[in-house]
Structure 1
Amino acid sequence: MNIKRTSFVLVAFLAFVPLMRVTAETQTTGKGTVTFHSSDSETPPIDPEKPGEVVEPSGPIVKTEGPLRLDLVPKFTFGPQAISTKDQMYYADAQLFKSDTPARANYAQVTDNRGTVAGWELTVKQETQFSNSAAKNNELKGAVLSLDKQWANSTIGQQFQPTIMKDAIEINQIGASYPIATAERGKGNGTWAIQFGSSGETDGNDNTLTPILNADGSALTDPLTKKPMFKNQAISLFVPGKTLKDPVKYTTVLTWTIAELS
């Protein structure tokens, strides 16, 4: 009897999988550095009421240089006036621009890029009385220039705002320096517009600008910018009626000083 046998060979596989182990990490650090230094690069004039916008003022720009500087100082023009024997108050022409920016109050622009935030002071001094050396009555005796409605504006946070002299500044002492604004230590960095008056477009500041009209009631336009002209009632010149005047132009010199605090 034949017996047929069938054999099965079973092969068993045992796979060894490497055991994953977490070992202690080793770390180190690198450095990222940036170095700042004071800058005396030119800062263009800004719109005093919208300080994020660059503007092009009409007329020449008078400025200083250095990390702490004046980018712009105001020019006060009171225009032609009729001779009068009565006390008169004249107002300065408002600031006009070659760009699309509307008329603004007269302003000075200060930049502090020293990086020290050590503070500064802005002052103004009238060097002479309004005068004309070629005139018979060569001086406007008793004339007083006044600056009022001062305020500061910047893209920098208001916590860094300089202290503004809030009272009207009457320059009744020729040759004396009058403080306009003071940035205590820790304040006044960046660029600030120090304004005298306002167009009324910003909250908390009354409009000090009034249009200049021709005899027929139409707006008087500036020959350079072709834009309507305005008077700024925050800048005034008082001239006594008793002061003798000639039909000439009278001028004065104003010295604006930006100084570091000691």
Structure 2
Amino acid sequence: MKKAILSGLLVCGAVLFMVPMVYAADATTEGTITFTENNSNTSPVNPLDPAEDFSGTLTTNTTTGSEGALTLDVIPNIDFGTQEIFASEHTYKAIVASEELESNYLQVTDNRTLSSGKGWTITVSNTQFTSDSSTLTGATLTIPAGEARNNLNTISSDIDTTNFLTYEVALTGTGTAQTIFKTADTADDMTGKGTSTSTWPAANVTLTVPQLTAQEGSYASTITWTLTAGATT
């Protein structure tokens, strides 16, 4: 009986002696990334929620194709269609070209780093409405103040009156630029970053023509939308 017990202990001892020693070792690799300035163009977003892409047809607005870290991406098309002549002063409303989007809008994308630029301003100007034979002298193109939104806001569909300013403009064809959309004067380095929109009903754009001015024919005015860096006044 004692032999059996001892033999069993010897076998167990042999098994324990043969277990190999295991040692831990560390190994490292390196993760890398290189950043360059974003010089791509930005596709149209939903002007009522700039965190969403726009999937409709931009008949009431048009893309600019601009590329760079600070870009004006979308600008309005303004069309008054075919209208009747009035001898007295008359105000005409712009037509809505799309049932999908009944708004005009401006879209700005700011991908600049915090240290490379703060704020931006959009101005607008126009030439007089002219035809082949006459000019609508004294005509006033009025664009209402828009509603501003930004895709980086917690609720991107909410109107933002803290970080942005929008203005109604009355353009008389003199070529004088007027501010229509900008970051607030109190803007910090983060204000206006990402994609921002200013939206207004297309039908609220008006053209007021003085009495005894309109003649038969098609008139056109060149409207210039200018984006500049900085929250200028």
Q: 1:213-250 CA distances to partner (integer Å, 9 max, x unpaired)? A: xxxxxxxxxxxxxxxxxxx332111112x242211111
Check 1:255–1:27 CA distance in 2 against 1; reply closer, same or farther (3 A cut).
same
Q: How many angstroms does 1:29 deviate by?
A: 6.8
1:78 counterpart = 2:80: yes
List runs of 5+ in structure 1 lacking aligned partners: 1-7, 198-231
TM-score by length of 1: 0.66
Check 1:139–1:61 CA distance in 2 against 1; reply closer, same or farther (3 A cut).
same
1:249 counterpart = 2:199: no
Q: How many angstroms does 1:77 deviate by?
A: 0.6
Query: Secondary structure of the residue that 1:233 maps to in structure 2?
Result: helix
Partner letter of residue 63 of structure 1?
Answer: T
Check 1:257–1:41 CA distance in 2 against 1; reply closer, same or farther (3 A cut).
same
> Which of the pair has more CA radius of gyration?
1
**Equivalent residue pairs, number:** 211
1:174 counterpart = 2:143: no
Q: How many angstroms does 1:195 deviate by?
A: 1.4
Query: Secondary structure of the residue that 1:156 maps to in structure 2?
Result: coil
Structure 2 distance, partners of 1:9, 1:103, is: 98
Structure with the bigger percentage of helix: 2
TM-score by length of 2: 0.73
Bigger CA drift: 29-38 or 107-116? Answer: 29-38
Aligned to 1:233: 203
Structure 1 distance, partners of 2:197, 2:72, is: 10
Q: What's the RMSD between the two structures over aligned residues?
A: 3.5
1:192 counterpart = 2:196: yes
1:151 counterpart = 2:147: yes
Residues 166 and 198 in structure 2, CA contact (< 8 A), matched pair in contact too: no
Aligned to 1:215: none
Identity of aligned residues (%): 26
1:131 counterpart = 2:130: yes
Query: Secondary structure of the residue that 1:109 maps to in structure 2?
Result: strand
Aligned to 1:260: 229
Query: Secondary structure of the residue that 2:46 maps to in structure 1?
Result: coil
Q: How many angstroms does 1:60 deviate by?
A: 8.6
Q: How many angstroms does 1:257 deviate by?
A: 0.9
Q: How many angstroms does 1:72 deviate by?
A: 2.0
